[in-house]
Amino acid sequence: MAARGVGLLTRLPTCARRSQVLRPTHRLLSCPGTVAADARREEQSSGSAETGSEDRTRKTRFSEVQKERREQAQRTILILCPNKISEKKFLKYLSQHGSINNHFFFESFGLYAVVEFCQKESVASLQNVTRTPSMGTEAAIPFRSRFFNLKLKNPSNQTSEQSCIPCSNQLPPSSKKLFELLCDAESIDDQLNTLLKEFQLTEENTKLRHLTCSLIEDIAAAYFPDCAVRPFGSSVNGFGKLGCDLDMFLDLDEIGKFSTHKTSGNFLMEFQVKNVPSERIATQKILSVIGECLDHFGPGCVGVQKILNARCPLVRFSHQASGFQCDLTTNNRIALKSSELLYIYGALDSRVRALVFSIRCWARAHSLTSSVPGAWITNFSLTMMVIFFLQTRSPPILPTLDYLKTLADAEDKCIIEGHNCTFIGDLNGIKPSRNTETLEILLKEFFEYFGNFAFNKNSINIRQGREQNKPEPSPLHIQNPFETSLNISKNVSHSQLQKFVDLARESAWILHQEDKAHSSPPSNQPWGLAALLLPSVAKSMSHAKKKRKKPASERIKNLLESIKSSSTENSTNTNGKRTVSTQA
């Protein structure tokens, strides 16, 4: 299922102020102390925290979150339901097998239910009374999964009790709806928090992602009984948006692990195994077999592609029920460690995720990023740029990776394939920033910082949080935080980088012009972040370039310098919202 991202906001009607938006009702029950309960608390406090304020709530380790999510997924089932169904009778029927912790419905090629039992044994109880369907002229491949198909013996009996079942939304808002919400916001800070709230993964979507990995794990376990299929990337790092792909890796490290306390005497027992020339060949063979299983036996897995000769071999497929586009790799531990690092950065300060989501949305609106591989800047690169920028503030909003390494204890020590991936895992051991800059200032300063960044000679390095000389001639150099010899933005062309710089300068100029006006935004015109998403901004500047001898970006750079010069002499604050920053 293709996700509806935010494209170019063209020909949209002027937005009405204070419009009311109805959100879907969710059936989500959660016990205190669970991930679901923590997520609900975060949603309730999202956007309401004071800038730079210290959050004294205990923050959960990444590993603890992932462990609990996996346990939840193992006692959860996915059911394709009839369109006409009584929710009350449906839950009563399932409750015969055990208490239900929570459930929700969603639509994707039909009506689906995700049901989490309180005990894992309830799943086995339901499987024991489930039959393999009769396919008539076709033959069914029997497979005991946690993906079920519910049919009604007598549909007419439930028609009278059937009511409209509320479905959880699994997609981001349309361009029109987002535009209206942004225009209805009270301030630019409110706009960024609104965009975050609308685009971030919901509790239901997160549960569905972990369940999908768990269902794939059931298939892989036929060959590797002690394996785990773990999600990584945007699905778990806190920066994923509704509709993003699901990256997962097959973790085989627990298979055959040596336990000293189980040995006795002078004997050492080992498994008989097949040997292959290299780790890469082993990976290719394993993924080839798993790909075949998904294609032939995996319920709901369609469009399976085995891309085994890539730098990182993978199996790509669509999980039809959840609507996720999935990439499966094996033993990709560095990627999981990168996910943990981003999770920590996103959890340290409420401004981080709001700024990253808005910059990514801005980049996508102007075609700076793309879902198709090419010479474009990636979302990961943009996230690294935001983190680096926040490390350069005075005082810094985010610590450097080297500093996080100094806080690590023996439990945190991590060496993967010779790369030092050590950093503190306990968020509670990191002091919060004393920086109190608003999101409006940070958005403005981000565009100005990178609109004037010396990309021709400097690289971006979040390990040290300062500019360094580029080790190679690539247009954009962003050091991989763990595999430090790699440039994560090596694919970016000079023309795409220049486009980013031009748009950054133009966006900074627009925000400075709005701030210079010192007036409330008109109700019939886009303003703030909404104005930055309009393609007419970039296009009009592009057309103006052709008519002027001096490039538009240089002209805007000069205008920005004059605006900042005057603002240094006379800094103004209106209603506590519109503040002109004088920081370089």
Residue 422's pLDDT band (boundaries 50, 70, 90)? very high
Report the DSSP beta bridge partners of residue 167.
105
CB 327 within 8 A of CB 247: yes
Nearest one of 233, 229, 235 to 209, comparing CA atoms: 235
Q: For Cα atoms 419, 422, 423, give the angle at the middle one, nearest 5 degrees.
A: 145
Percent of the chain with pLDDT over 90: 64
HSE-up of residue 89 (Cα within 13 Å, Cβ side): 16
pLDDT > 80? residue 68: yes
pLDDT band at 250 (very low <50, low <70, confident <90, very high): very high
The residue ranking higher by pLDDT, 13 or 347, is 347
E strands present in 502-577:
573-574
Q: What is the pLDDT of residue 166?
A: 84
CA 311 to CA 490: how far, in whole Å? Answer: 14
Please tell me which residue, 20 or 329, carries the higher pLDDT value: 329
Instruction: Evaluate if residue 40 carries a pLDDT over 70.
Output: no
Please indicate whether residue 536 or residue 103 has the higher confidence score (pLDDT).
103
Q: What is the pLDDT of residue 505?
A: 95
Residues facing 379 on adjacent strands: none
Predicted confidence band at 45 (pLDDT cuts at 50, 70, 90)?
Answer: very low
Instruction: Find where tokens 């400075």 sit.
Output: 512
What pLDDT does 219 receive?
Answer: 94
Query: Residue 371: is it exposed, middle or buried by C-beta count within 10 angstroms (0-12/13-18/19+)?
Result: middle
Across the range 48-75, mean pLDDT stands at: 80
Alpha-carbon span 325 to 292, nearest angstrom? 17
Mention every residue, 6+ apart, whose C-beta is less than 8 A from residue 411: 425
Q: Which residue has the higher pLDDT, 560 or 152?
A: 152
* pLDDT band, residue 109 (cuts 50/70/90): confident
Q: Under 8 Å CB-to-CB from 350, ≥6 apart: which residues? A: 46, 47, 49, 55
For 462-481, how does the pLDDT look when each residue is reduced to its tens digit (9 = 90+)?
999 999 999 999 999 999 99
- HSE at residue 552, side-chain half, CA atoms within 13 A, is 21
Cα dist. 121→64, 76, 118, 144, 166 in Å? 23, 11, 9, 15, 28
Question: Is 158 a residue whose pLDDT tops 90?
Answer: no
Taking 60 as the threshold, does the pLDDT of residue 7 lie above it? no
pLDDT at 573: 45
Comparing C-alpha atoms, which of 441, 468, 436 is closest to residue 455? 468
* Sequence-distant (≥ 6) Cβ neighbours of residue 170 within 8 angstroms: 106, 108, 204, 205, 208, 242, 243, 323
- Res 17 pLDDT > 50: no
pLDDT at 575: 43
Band of residue 84 on the pLDDT scale cut at 50, 70, 90:
confident
Identify the bridge partners of residue 102 per DSSP, sorted by sequence position: 116
Summarize the confidence of residues 264-277 as an average pLDDT: 85
Please report the pLDDT score of residue 568 as a whole number: 52
Mean local confidence (pLDDT), 23-37:
43
> How far apart are the C-alpha atoms of 260 and 264, rounded to whole Å?
9
Q: If pLDDT is split at 50, 70 and 90, which confidence band does 371 have?
A: confident
| C-alpha closest to that of 30 among 135, 125, 100 | 100
Which of 56-65, 288-297, 323-332 is least confident? Answer: 56-65
State the average pLDDT for the chain.
83
Which two structure tokens, joined as six digits, stand for 210? 């972990």
Number of residues in the chain: 584
**How many C-beta atoms surround the C-beta of residue 458 within 10 A?**
14
Torsions phi, psi for 103 (to 5 deg): -155, 160
Is the pLDDT score of 549 beyond 70?
no
DSSP classification of residue 25: P
User: φ, ψ for residue 125 (rounded to 5)?
Assistant: -65, -40
